[in-house]
A and B are shown apart, each in its own frame.
Chain A
Amino acid sequence: IEDCLAKKMEITVSEAEKRTGRNAMNIQETYTAYLIETRAVESQSEGQCAPVDSLWRRYSEFELLRNYLSVTYPHIVVPPLPEKRADFVWHKLSADNMDPDFVERRRIGLENFLLRVASHPVLCQDKIFYAFLTQEGGWKEMVNETGFQLKADSRLKALNATFRVKNPDKRFTELKHYSDELQSVISHLLRVRARVADRLYGVYKVHGNYGRVFSEWSAIEKEMGDGLQSAGHHMDVYAASIDDILEEEEHYADQLKEYLFYAEALRAVCRKHELMQYDLEMAAQDLTSKKQQCEELATGTVRTFSLKGMTSKLFGQETPEQREAKIKVLEEQIQEGEEQLKSKNLEGRDFVKSAWADIERFKEQKNHDLKEALISYAVMQISMCKKGIQVWTNAKECFSKM
């Protein structure tokens, strides 16, 4: 982590701006552009500030970057992007992508994404990533030139397709179950939290009605008037306090959401392992059957039923020359196949090794981050209670003077 980009360079997503432009199909559209600012860290000694470089990127370019990274580094748990559309919304939050609060939270999420990539020991060294941060023009072409789309395995996208893998690494199977559970439990939690926030909002806001009615009532009272009036003011303060409280809680929700999306990335790595293992097993199976065919041709015995064998029996044997030719072809294929199997095996083992290393790194990061998030949630609740105590202490004093 000492060499990672995050240490050498300050990265921020500092602004968001609404833009209109024409898209690839020449249709007018509105989108948000985000300003990425970078500054070299080293030259900040002696009170000198290095110049800030900046460029604008939109969400779709972030998506392109991430797709590139996922395909190019399939053994890495690639950090997720913030959600494309607002989800887990409670009714005060807007589901509109153009809503300033949503845009602001997305800005923070995008910055977080870049920082995560920049602090990853492997990903931070990627040239395309560096260019994303520093090279405004021609970046898209640069990415496409890598040809990463060709490397992408379309089977990875078919999340529900099952592959009958005979000998997957058990750790990956367990990890896949874990990522499914994590995804399910976090999304359930976020849904309920949104409903709880909604209700809490209601409780606080209705108290605001007290403020107005107390104030009007105090106008007809002599001795009670002052107490009522000032109590009403505190009820207003109480009702207003929920806005900040819930805004802070949204940041907590965003922290959980990141790990909801991380679960996807985790599953992708497990999938990749499954697919590699599947391809390996298929290749081994294919090699075995070719070897068998070869043997049968060589010895003239048919151990397994084959349509070719039957037809040749029915329609006449082939000539020895023909047979020789076949055997030769098969022997070449077997040779190739054995080499391929060897390299696939090696590939598979390397993948398992490097993937598991990153998974261990991820687990530590996850445990640390989630623990911090839970602690900060508890701190938020404590602060909310303290505010409540303050308001109601004041209100009590006013009531007792009525």
Chain B
Amino acid sequence: PGPPLPAGGEGPDADPHLAAGALCTARGPLLAAAEVLALDDEEDDLEVFSKDKSVVEVNAFSPSVPISPSSMINEYKFEDGPELRDLFITVDDPESHITAIETFITYRVVTKTSRGEFDSSEYEVRRRYQDFLWLKSKLEEAHPTLIIPPLPEKFIMKGMVERFSDEFIETRRKALHKFLNRIADHPTLTFNEDFKIFLTAQAWELSSHKKQGPGLLSRMGQTVRAVASSVRGAVKNRPEMFTEMNNYMETFSQKINLLDKIAHRIYKEERDYFNEMKEYGPIHTLWSASEEDIADSLKGIASCIDRCCKATEKRMAGLSENLLPILHEYVLYSEILMGVLKRRDQIQGELDSKVDASANKKTEKDLFSEEIGKLEDKVERANNALKADWDRWKQNMQWDMRSTFTNVAENNLRYYEE
């Protein structure tokens, strides 16, 4: 059904004029491409978090009760089953801090654990977004071919608007909570030393720990090398499996971005519908005041319309609490995965260039062969790590998609039933 998507991945009929015109075309059987609402080019630039007031209002209906670690048992899929989980983390209680230099938000991170390597069974620390960034980069350093979960983006604004609206903070808090829990669930990352320090260290301890280690320059070096290796072109000896992964990720990334746009568009249309409906009910009440015989019928309709309004609000809340954050997370994941695949290619590239170099300098063969041996090990470790993590990621993705779309269907069922 419908024409194939253009390679650029912009979605059907990215011409903004068609966004309005598409609705005026003649009706036909199910899938005339023009019949479906076109997705505007503009939505590319849509800022990460909507600043719309009415969206804030809707979120006011969704309970923002902090999730306690103990109530989290069923929230995430555990590879080994909930009984084996021994690390529970929550992120809550955002607080504003104002200093002479800056204003920033800290979040409370509470950890409950039964693991032996932790000195205590409970920890409570405060962390700011910067700290999370630090943790992510440390994990990437230590495990270049593992899939490190995404962090919510920095606040990128198109124009002047108040930073740190309640809605923005709440969305970020939920994403940070997810981030830490994904790490906790990961069979390798969960035992990472920096992760442990992040969860347990007091503020001054964390600062001093951050100052140790390779630090910024080394990270930049890695990035430079990664860019350099990608400039060199496709890796010659890339195993078939990873080419398949690359192809998969290209398509997946395209589709998940589209789904993200579609979901946001649906949210917007529902909100607009809700706004019109708010005016619709009261007109019937007004009319009933001039009537006698049909006054009750009119009042009945007015109250029905008002209840439909409430149901619409719930449906919108369902979208913004569940589907939108998940789709967004996977949009970020697809970027991360492309990065991981590149890093693997880069590691392989190091091996390949060493092998090439050794072929030209027969005299230093011994020296090379030791290096090559190390690099071959490195490549094998990287490949295995990635393969295992890829399988795990795919399983989680499947579970997440199934769960979130089923939730969307349930929300719609509840909406229509109400």
Contacts known (A196-B273, A399-B409); A202 close to B290, Cβ less than 8 A: no
Which residue in B24, B284, B293 is a CB contact (below 8 Å) of A367? B293
In the complex the two chains form, is A216's CB within 8 Å of B5's CB? yes
Among A289-297, A327-335, A388-396, the stretch that binds chain B is A388-396
Give every chain B residue within 8 A of A181 (Cβ-Cβ).
Answer: 290
Q: What is the chain A residue whose CB lies nearest that of B2?
A: A212
Q: Does A337 contact B (CB under 8 A)?
A: no
List A197-248 residues whose CB lies under 8 Å from chain B: 198-203, 205-213, 215-217, 219-220, 223-224, 227, 231, 236-237, 239-240, 243
Please indicate which of the listed interface residues A200, A203, A227 has the most CB atoms of chain B within 10 Å of its own CB: A203
Which residue in A182, A203, A208, A393 is a CB contact (below 8 Å) of B36? A208
Contacts known (A385-B417, A399-B406, A402-B401); A213 close to B293, Cβ less than 8 A: no
Binary per-residue interface labels of chain B (272-306) against chain A in the complex, 1 for a CB within 8 Å, 0 otherwise: 11011101100110110010011001100100100
Give every chain A residue within 8 A of B276 (Cβ-Cβ).
Answer: 192, 195-196, 198-199
Contacts known (A185-B283, A240-B30); A213 close to B409, Cβ less than 8 A: no
In the complex the two chains form, is A220's CB within 8 Å of B248's CB? yes
List B39-93 residues whose CB lies under 8 Å from chain A: 39
In the complex the two chains form, is A185's CB within 8 Å of B286's CB? yes
Q: What is the chain B residue whose CB lies nearest that of A401?
A: B402
Contacts known (A203-B273, A210-B262, A213-B262); A236 close to B37, Cβ less than 8 A: no
A55 and B40 CA atoms in complex are apart in Å by 51
A186 and B290 CA atoms in complex are apart in Å by 12
Which residue in A203, A215, A224, A236 is a CB contact (below 8 Å) of B266? A203
Contacts known (A216-B255, A388-B412, A396-B406); A206 close to B279, Cβ less than 8 A: no
Please indicate which of the listed interface residues A186, A223, A392 has the most CB atoms of chain B within 10 Å of its own CB: A392
Q: What is the interface of chain B mostly: helix, strand, loop, or mixed?
A: helix
Give every chain B residue within 8 A of A298 (Cβ-Cβ).
Answer: none
Give every chain B residue within 8 A of A389 (Cβ-Cβ).
Answer: 413, 416-417
Q: Does B18 contact A (CB under 8 A)?
A: no
Cβ distance B387 to chain A, nearest Cβ, rounded Å: 16
Q: What is the chain A residue whose CB lies nearest that of B11?
A: A209
Contacts known (A182-B290, A374-B301, A389-B413); A209 close to B283, Cβ less than 8 A: no
In the complex the two chains form, is A205's CB within 8 Å of B23's CB? yes
Give every chain A residue within 8 A of B401 (Cβ-Cβ).
Answer: 224, 402
Give every chain B residue within 8 A of A374 (Cβ-Cβ).
Answer: 294, 297-298, 301
A181 and B415 CA atoms in complex are apart in Å by 34
Q: Does A92 contact B (CB under 8 A)?
A: yes
Q: Does A142 contact B (CB under 8 A)?
A: no
Q: Does A49 contact B (CB under 8 A)?
A: no
Contacts known (A209-B12, A224-B398, A385-B416); A196 close to B2, Cβ less than 8 A: no
Q: Does A326 contact B (CB under 8 A)?
A: no
Q: Does A164 contact B (CB under 8 A)?
A: no
In the complex the two chains form, is B255's CB within 8 Å of A231's CB? no
Please indicate which of the listed interface residues A182, A195, A378, A386 has the most CB atoms of chain B within 10 Å of its own CB: A195
Contacts known (A196-B280, A371-B297, A395-B409); A212 close to B269, Cβ less than 8 A: no
In the complex the two chains form, is B287's CB within 8 Å of A189's CB? yes
Q: Does B191 contact A (CB under 8 A)?
A: no
Which residue in B39, B273, B279 is a CB contact (below 8 Å) of A202? B273
Cβ distance B41 to chain A, nearest Cβ, rounded Å: 15
Contacts known (A371-B297, A389-B413, A389-B416); A239 close to B290, Cβ less than 8 A: no
Cβ distance B295 to chain A, nearest Cβ, rounded Å: 10
Q: What is the chain B residue whose CB lies nearest that of A212?
A: B2
Q: Does B235 contact A (CB under 8 A)?
A: no
A205 and B405 CA atoms in complex are apart in Å by 18
In the complex the two chains form, is B413's CB within 8 Å of A392's CB? yes
Cβ distance A75 to chain B, nearest Cβ, rounded Å: 23
In the complex the two chains form, is B24's CB within 8 Å of A202's CB? no
Which residue in B36, B283, B304, B416 is a CB contact (below 8 Å) of A378? B304
A91 and B284 CA atoms in complex are apart in Å by 23
List A72-92 residues whose CB lies under 8 Å from chain B: 91-92
Q: What is the chain B residue whose CB lies nearest that of A181?
A: B290
In the complex the two chains form, is B24's CB within 8 Å of A91's CB? yes
Cβ distance A117 to chain B, nearest Cβ, rounded Å: 24
Give every chain A residue within 8 A of B258 (Cβ-Cβ).
Answer: 209, 213
Q: What is the chain B residue whose CB lies nearest that of A237?
A: B30
Give every chain B residue within 8 A of A385 (Cβ-Cβ).
Answer: 416-417
Q: Does B270 contact A (CB under 8 A)?
A: yes
Which residue in A202, A209, A370, A396 is a CB contact (below 8 Å) of B272? A202
In the complex the two chains form, is A192's CB within 8 Å of B1's CB? no
The count of residues in chain B whose C-beta lies closer than 8 Å to any C-beta of chain A is: 59
List A238-260 residues whose CB lies under 8 Å from chain B: 239-240, 243
Cβ distance B73 to chain A, nearest Cβ, rounded Å: 21
In the complex the two chains form, is B398's CB within 8 Å of A371's CB? no
Q: Does A375 contact B (CB under 8 A)?
A: yes
In the complex the two chains form, is B273's CB within 8 Å of A199's CB? yes
Q: Does B227 contact A (CB under 8 A)?
A: no
Q: Does A66 contact B (CB under 8 A)?
A: no
A188 and B259 CA atoms in complex are apart in Å by 37
In the complex the two chains form, is B301's CB within 8 Å of A212's CB? no
Give every chain A residue within 8 A of B297 (Cβ-Cβ).
Answer: 370-371, 374-375
Cβ distance A228 to chain B, nearest Cβ, rounded Å: 8
A211 and B273 CA atoms in complex are apart in Å by 22
Give every chain B residue within 8 A of A199 (Cβ-Cβ).
Answer: 269, 272-273, 275-276
Give every chain A residue within 8 A of B413 (Cβ-Cβ).
Answer: 389, 392-393, 396
In the complex the two chains form, is A213's CB within 8 Å of B255's CB? yes
List A338-397 residues whose CB lies under 8 Å from chain B: 367, 370-371, 374-375, 377-378, 381, 385-386, 388-389, 392-393, 395-396
Q: Does A178 contact B (CB under 8 A)?
A: yes
A371 and B293 CA atoms in complex are apart in Å by 9
Give every chain A residue within 8 A of B415 (Cβ-Cβ).
Answer: 388
Give every chain A residue within 8 A of B277 (Cβ-Cβ).
Answer: 196
Q: What is the chain B residue whose CB lies nearest that of A221?
A: B398
Give every chain A residue within 8 A of B182 (Cβ-Cβ).
Answer: none
Cβ distance B161 to chain A, nearest Cβ, rounded Å: 26
Q: What is the chain B residue whose CB lies nearest that of A201?
A: B23
Give every chain B residue within 8 A of A400 (Cβ-Cβ).
Answer: 402, 406
Which residue in B37, B279, B290, B416 is a CB contact (below 8 Å) of A205? B37
Q: Does A193 contact B (CB under 8 A)?
A: yes
Give every chain B residue within 8 A of A196 (Cβ-Cβ).
Answer: 273, 276-277, 280
Give every chain B residue within 8 A of A388 (Cβ-Cβ).
Answer: 412, 415-416
Cβ distance B185 to chain A, nearest Cβ, rounded Å: 21
Cβ distance B177 to chain A, nearest Cβ, rounded Å: 25
Give every chain A residue within 8 A of B31 (Cβ-Cβ).
Answer: 208, 211-212, 236
Which residue in B20, B36, B251, B298 is a CB contact (below 8 Å) of A212? B36
Q: What is the chain B residue whose CB lies nearest that of A199?
A: B273
21 A-B contacts, Cβ less than 8 Å apart?
A178-B290, A185-B286, A192-B279, A195-B276, A200-B273, A203-B266, A205-B36, A208-B35, A209-B262, A216-B4, A220-B251, A239-B30, A239-B36, A374-B301, A378-B304, A389-B416, A389-B417, A392-B409, A395-B409, A396-B406, A399-B405
Closest 5 CB pairs of A and B: A396-B409, A199-B273, A388-B416, A208-B36, A367-B293
Given pairs A206-B266, A374-B294, 18 additional interface contacts (CB within 8 A): A91-B20, A189-B284, A189-B287, A192-B279, A202-B272, A203-B270, A212-B1, A216-B4, A216-B251, A224-B402, A236-B30, A374-B297, A374-B301, A385-B416, A386-B416, A392-B416, A396-B410, A399-B409
